[in-house]
Structure 1
Amino acid sequence: MVKNPLAGASYLLRGLALLTKPGLRPFVLIPLTINIIVFSLLIWLGVDQFEQLMDRFLPGDESWLAWLRWILWPLFAITLLLIIFYTFTVIANLIAAPFNGLLAEKVELHLGGKIPNQPTGAKQIVKDVVPSIVSELRKLLYFLLRAIPLLILFLIPGLNIVAPFLWMAFSAWFLAVEYGDYPMANHNLAFKQQHMRLKQARYSSLTFGAGLTLMMMVPILNFIAMPTAVAGATLFWHERLRHIEG
């Protein structure tokens, strides 16, 4: 059993290497392609609507307010990038949830693990769509119930000094909860059981989440952070969490 608490971050690097395996690539490329298409459509729609807004209130280059276009377009582009950065993970997880469970299964089988008998391939994806989305919404509720009190700390003098550190620690923990769910759910572990096992490997869970946080902050790299996290969390489960009683 791995006892080094910093091993949590190493699972991500090893998970990234696993994604290059031929048998795992389709489960990475399919949800990634879907997400790219969805965000491309959203970006196109946003740009089109903003352009119509500009044409309505700032028509033509001859308008005396035409110079505002040179200010508003860069501001719009920056805002759009920020929205994509902060919403990509949430939306991508909802879209890719069924594929993530299947990716976790394939990674575990590649590692020599065993999965309880269940439908495979397309049948499993269809079967898991509703439960996986419900699971994502449950994790989102778990996040909000704890994130809101932490955000309030930022407004309280004195306590706002420690609030950023508490927020970073909670974010790292939540990411471990988020992605640890996929391999453990494949073994029919309830949320409370998953939570208990992660608590028994608290420091490894935190370093796993902290490493993933850094990965998500790097442009382009954040697009493959999700499948990397699923593969890394499956390694975490296979080598450490499955040995914990509970």
Structure 2
Amino acid sequence: MRSVRDFTAGVGFFLQGFGWVARNGRWWAFGLIPALIAFAVYVVALIFLGRNASDVAEFLTPFADSWSWRELFRTLVGIALFFGGLALAVITFTAVTLAIGEPFYEKLSAAVDALEDEHEQPWWRTLPRSIRDSLVTLFYVLLFTIPLFFLGFIPVVGQTVVPVLGAAVSGFFLTVELTTLSMERRGMARKERFALLRANKASALGFGVAVFVLFLVPLVSVIAMPAAVAGAALLVRTRLASVA
């Protein structure tokens, strides 16, 4: 029962983030700039993938050349590749946007969550570390999502259990990315941040799954990005920092 309450509270922090940026429209507009840049890059990449998915599917399935139903099979593989690319885009959108807009989102996070004792460093010093941490996070994401991708071809399980697990994995790691700013401002290293989030799994999942589901909707990811950063700052300040 407590886990359900914590999960719901995690979703609530995302909604609080929307409330904060809605009351502070200047910060919302400020946070949209890097999100729009990243979104344009992803749109081009997904259009390219969509146009070439069938060719990629044919290249990956030479063993199906003699099958009578190879066209149907390759169409399904192409669709799976596109949706896999879409899911990967959702997962990596946050990391790429934060990397592009780190100076923007550091200021936004600081405006939401003011600290008396802040471990502040110039963005050009923190950027390489942020990119390295994002690559480590991406490694863990792929460690889970690649097996889930292949499990998705299993009838029934692939259409029911796998999407739920995928949303949970993606949601958790989105929370990892979004809370990094607030935790780094508290001087917390990557291992400490992971440990803290694992100790608050339900809250982390509630927040991250809400972000993940909204980020699946085109353009919503851009509009919601500043709210996600604000909500993550509130989550760290209210729920996570109390047990640090």
TM-score, length-normalised on structure 2? Answer: 0.68
Q: Runs of 5+ in structure 1 lacking a partner?
A: 51-77
**Greater radius of gyration (CA):** 1
Distance 1:169 1:110 in 2: 26
Out of 137, 140, 143, the residue aligned to residue 142 of structure 1 is 140
CA offset digits 1:128-159 (Å, max 9, x no partner): 33222222111111111222233344456897
Distance 1:27 1:190 in 2: 27
1:15: Cα distance to partner? 0.8
Q: Secondary structure at the match of 1:240?
A: helix
Q: Which of the pair is proportionally richer in helix?
A: 2
- What is the aligned partner in structure 2 of residue 30 from structure 1? 33
1:98: Cα distance to partner? 5.4
Letter in 1 for 2:133: S
Q: Secondary structure at the match of 1:24?
A: helix
CA offset digits 1:30-58 (Å, max 9, x no partner): 313423554577689x5xx99xxxxxxxx
2:131 matched to 1:129?
no
Identical pairs, percent: 27
1:16: Cα distance to partner? 1.7
1:227: Cα distance to partner? 2.5
1:214: Cα distance to partner? 1.9
Q: What is the count of residue pairs matched by the alignment? A: 210
Letter in 1 for 2:168: A
Contact 2:17 2:234 in 1 (8 A): yes
- What is the aligned partner in structure 2 of residue 65 from structure 1? none
CA offset digits 1:84-103 (Å, max 9, x no partner): 85465425632432534652
- What is the aligned partner in structure 2 of residue 167 from structure 1? 166
Letter in 2 for 1:205: A
Report the CA distance shift for 1:27/1:173 in structure 2 as closer, same or farther (over 3 A). Answer: same
1:1-246 correspondence runs (5 A) = 4-5=5-6, 6-20=8-22, 21=24, 24-25=27-28, 27-36=30-39, 38=41, 85-86=86-87, 88-89=89-90, 90-91=92-93, 93-97=95-99, 99-100=101-102, 102-114=104-116, 116-119=118-121, 124-154=122-152, 162-245=161-244
Q: Secondary structure at the match of 1:32?
A: helix
Contact 2:10 2:205 in 1 (8 A): yes
Report the CA distance shift for 1:37/1:115 in structure 2 as closer, same or farther (over 3 A). Answer: farther
Is 179-188 or 8-17 further displaced after alignment? 179-188
Structure 1 vs Structure 2 CA RMSD: 3.7
Letter in 1 for 2:31: V
Report the CA distance shift for 1:218/1:142 in structure 2 as closer, same or farther (over 3 A). Answer: same
Letter in 1 for 2:228: A
Distance 2:88 2:151 in 1: 23
Distance 2:39 2:164 in 1: 33
Distance 2:113 2:129 in 1: 25
Contact 2:94 2:174 in 1 (8 A): no
TM-score, length-normalised on structure 1? Answer: 0.67
1:243: Cα distance to partner? 1.0
Contact 2:14 2:231 in 1 (8 A): yes
- What is the aligned partner in structure 1 of residue 58 from structure 2? none
Q: Runs of 5+ in structure 2 lacking a partner?
A: 53-78
